[in-house]
Structure 1
């Protein structure tokens, strides 16, 4: 399914995602175990 929306609405949605979703993702990854280079290559 496809939906067409005005570009101004799309840009607003994009801004909301960047301002809300991205910081949440960064915060989530800060609390998760960090991998070292050696463990990633296993």
Structure 2
């Protein structure tokens, strides 16, 4: 969960408009990493 806190800190520290490329990369990272961290454990 450390990554989530870092992202929140970065977003909160950003007071200027974020470039579309940064948003695209952040969304790509979320889409790629979210399924891995939020996998339902069904044995």
TM-score (norm: length of structure 2): 0.48
TM-score (norm: length of structure 1): 0.49
